[in-house]
């Protein structure tokens, strides 16, 4: 039981490049989330998926897209990376209705130059 | 918009002393208040949570109190140990969304 896994752990992009961050959970959770963490700002919600087949915007969705590929996997895509997207990205999964049994992945540190 | 304010941003205590971190929230619909501990290079880990129908919850050396009228909640760590050193985040939520505080860096001096 690996919990929540994220790939890659580190990534450096040039402005304008695209990439996809991968997240998978093996706990049969319904809800999955993507957050970004910036110094002094806590975690901010980018997108979430309450169940397979649904996605919704969070606080800071601009510049990102998501795909809930199946119940296990939830990916985050940056179509045209900008320096403002330099951050640490965390995926999380929740057992039910987002408020119980939350688990975070280890994070992806992204630098956009 | 909805926000959660967390204080202090840094806290240094002597081993064995108590530590208190406070949060206030703006959304009166919030009914779930978790606390997370984040160690360097790792994702946040839930350490304790409280729901709006409870005023206080305790788990060994950790306790959380909630005052819904004043819209604030606090984390109390007693008999602190060096391994308690980490960044602590509060959050307030309802339905599917959590709003996080900006974090408190706790240093426990041996």
Mean pLDDT, 10 residues at a time, chain A of 113 residues: 90 97 93 91 91 91 96 96 97 72 89 97
CA distance to A32, A53, B35, B91, B106, per residue, from B20 (Å): 31, 41, 12, 15, 10
Q: What is the pLDDT of residues B59-89, one digit of tens each?
A: 999 999 999 999 999 999 999 999 999 999 9
d(CA A53, CA A32): 11
Closest residue of chain B to A32, computed from CA coordinates: B96
Lookup result for tokens 């994702």: B43
Compare B25 and B95 and report the one with higher pLDDT: B25
- What is the three-class DSSP state of B71? coil
The verdict on B43 touching A (C-beta cutoff 8 Å) is yes
d(CA A63, CA A84): 10
Let me know: does A34 contact A91? Beta carbons within 8 Å. yes
The residues near A36 (Cβ < 8 Å, ≥ 6 apart) are A43, A44, A46, A60, A85, A87, A88, A89, A90
Q: In the structure, what pLDDT confidence band is assigned to residue B16 with cuts at 50, 70 and 90?
A: very high
Q: Inter-chain contact B89–A42, Cβ cutoff 8 Å?
A: yes
Give residue A99's pLDDT.
55
Closest residue of chain A to B9, computed from CA coordinates: A40
Give residue A33's pLDDT.
94
Q: Inter-chain contact B6–A45, Cβ cutoff 8 Å?
A: no
The verdict on A16 touching B (C-beta cutoff 8 Å) is no
Give residue A72's pLDDT.
95
């Amino acid at each position: 039981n690996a919990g929540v896994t994220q790939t890659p752990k580190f990534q450096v992009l040039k402005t304008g490049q695209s990439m996809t961050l991968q997240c998978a959970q093996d706990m049969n959770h319904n809800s999955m989330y993507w957050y970004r963490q910036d110094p002094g700002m806590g975690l901010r919600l980018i997108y979430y998926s309450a169940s397979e087949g649904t996605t919704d915007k969070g606080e800071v969705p601009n510049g990102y897209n998501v795909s809930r590929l199946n119940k296990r996997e939830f990916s985050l895509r940056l179509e045209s990376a900008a320096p403002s997207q330099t951050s640490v990205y965390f995926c999380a999964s929740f057992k039910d209705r987002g408020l119980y049994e939350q688990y975070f992945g280890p994070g992806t540190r992204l630098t956009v130059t | 918009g909805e926000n959660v304010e967390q204080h202090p941003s840094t806290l240094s205590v002597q081993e064995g002393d108590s530590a208190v971190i406070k949060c206030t929230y703006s959304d009166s619909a919030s009914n779930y208040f978790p606390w997370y501990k984040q160690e360097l290079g790792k994702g946040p880990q839930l350490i304790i949570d409280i729901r709006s129908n409870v005023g206080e919850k305790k788990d060994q050396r950790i306790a959380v109190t909630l005052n819904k009228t004043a819209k604030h909640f606090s984390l109390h760590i007693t008999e602190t140990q060096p391994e308690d050193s980490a960044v602590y985040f509060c959050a307030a939520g309802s339905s599917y969304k959590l709003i996080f505080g900006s974090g408190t860096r706790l240093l426990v001096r041996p």
